[in-house]
Structure 1
Amino acid sequence: MQARKLIWVVVYAVAMAYVEAAAVVYLRRIYGISDLLRDIAPYDPRIAAIELGREAATLVMILAVGLAAGRSLQARLGFACVVFGTWDIVYYVWLRLMVGWPDSLLASDLLFLIPLPWWGPVLSPALVALLSVVGGLLAVVHDRGRAMRPDAAAWSALLAGSLAILDAFMADALRVLPASAETLGRLRPTPFNWPVFLAGYLAMIWGVRRADRSATRSPS
């Protein structure tokens, strides 16, 4: 049963990634953007608000699938993580097939706008997405008679790692605060802080492994 659900969840994520990639292709064509580092579209507060709403709606779609597919909190979070990770990775695959971008895993991309602009090389969100898929699969698999009970050390590693990764993604936006939405919209990235990102990523890997080892047979 879980295997069938996982298949359909992945199919949904692949289709969702296509829709996301198609929307980006349309926006790039409309605004004449071929290089995110060079081309800056005119700031439009209405379009900016719509884009923020679209990103929020994407998060709702991911969480909704997780809630619908899983029965326990662990399984629901697991399915949501699988959707998120699959969507994020396949999104770049679709873009590559549609417009030939990214031409490198180190190409800079504007990743997200909530709560501030996130910038990073394509490889960085892909790594996070891969870990999300692995962690989600572990949560779903262990849901059949086993429970993952992360201890304080695992939670601390996951939290610290997440904060470090977010800092690496939003460092440029955080550096110019306080700033207007228009200023943030014109922001372009400085060299990515790989040491901070990798430190956070390794901490999260350790946290996921520790949580996996915490899975114990539930009492019958």
Structure 2
Amino acid sequence: MNYKKFLFWIFLFSIAFGFIEATVVIYLRQIYYPEGFSFPIKIISDKTIFIEYLREFATLILIFSASYVAGKTKMEKFAYFMYIFGIWDIFFYIFLNFFLNWPSSILEYDLLFLIPVAWVGPVLAPVIISVLLISAGIIIIYFENNNYKIYQTKLLWLLEISGGFIVFISFILSAGDVINRLYPAHFYWWLFCSGVIIAILPFIYSIYKTIKK
């Protein structure tokens, strides 16, 4: 199958998966937040939290499995993972907004993830990451299917991973507030943006070198 058609079907898969993810959250909020989701987080049983951990882990396995099947090379598999994850995440919020009118603002805080600890931040932050993941995924998939050998070095990989780790840190710095059932103090935008820049610049350089070959 032509990779463009494959991208289209993976796009539909990711949207559908985003809808499934959104429906689970909708049901949970109807039970625990009938008045509407807000911080501080309400007390939830240990069993429910454990199930949520397993659900999130299963989500990652599903995305990984789909990307593994979709890609032909290791780089392309990784690209599909980014592509699927980004679309899934964005449409998750689109469906939540459609059915719950939430978030009312892209700066509204959300409990983003639980693995390995609570991730917290304004909705805008993960959406930015998702847009970047989708863009990077499409670029890599295009190169992989048009006989380009993507330029990469250990240093570039290290910088990209370091940038991603800094972004991760920016999300978990408020984990203590969530655990103590407080409203997140604030989001460290400067740290988030620093991580994004550190990750993006090596990627741009890699693309530049790939095209110039």
Q: TM-score, normalised by structure 2?
A: 0.92
Does the residue aligned with 1:119 lie in a helix, a strand or coil?
A: strand
Q: Does 1:207 align with 2:202?
A: yes
For 1:136, the equivalent position in structure 2 comes to 137
For 2:153, the equivalent position in structure 1 comes to 151
Q: Deviations over 1:91-130 (max 9, x none)?
A: 1111111110111110000000000000000000000001
Q: Contact between 1:150 and 1:210, CA under 8 Å: does it hold in 2? A: no
Q: Contact between 1:147 and 1:216, CA under 8 Å: does it hold in 2? A: no
Q: Contact between 2:18 and 2:89, CA under 8 Å: does it hold in 1? A: yes
Q: Indicate which of 178, 190, 194 corresponds to 2:185.
A: 190
RMSD over aligned Cα atoms: 1.9
Q: Deviations over 1:155-189 (max 9, x none)?
A: 2321221111111100122x68xxxxxx8273542
Structure 1, unaligned stretches of length 5 or more?
177-182
For 2:167, the equivalent position in structure 1 comes to 165
Q: Contact between 2:83 and 2:134, CA under 8 Å: does it hold in 1? A: yes
Does the residue aligned with 2:17 lie in a helix, a strand or coil?
A: helix
Does the residue aligned with 2:44 lie in a helix, a strand or coil?
A: coil
Give the percent of matched residue pairs that are identical in Structure 1 and Structure 2.
29
In the TM superposition, residue 215 of structure 1 has moved relative to its aligned partner by 2.7
Tell me which amino acid in the other structure corresponds to 1:151. T
In the TM superposition, residue 80 of structure 1 has moved relative to its aligned partner by 1.1
Does the residue aligned with 1:48 lie in a helix, a strand or coil?
A: helix
Q: TM-score, normalised by structure 1?
A: 0.89
How many equivalent pairs are there? 210
Query: 1:39-188 to 2 correspondence within 5 Å?
Result: 40-144=41-145, 145-173=147-175, 184=179, 186=181, 188=183
For 1:179, the equivalent position in structure 2 comes to none
2:65, 2:103 → 1: CA distance?
Answer: 29
Mean Cα deviation higher: 95-104 or 185-194 = 185-194
For 2:14, the equivalent position in structure 1 comes to 13
Structure 2, unaligned stretches of length 5 or more?
none
Tell me which amino acid in the other structure corresponds to 2:194. A
In the TM superposition, residue 207 of structure 1 has moved relative to its aligned partner by 2.2
Q: Deviations over 1:122-144 (max 9, x none)?
A: 00000000110011111111112
In the TM superposition, residue 217 of structure 1 has moved relative to its aligned partner by 9.5
2:167, 2:75 → 1: CA distance?
Answer: 23
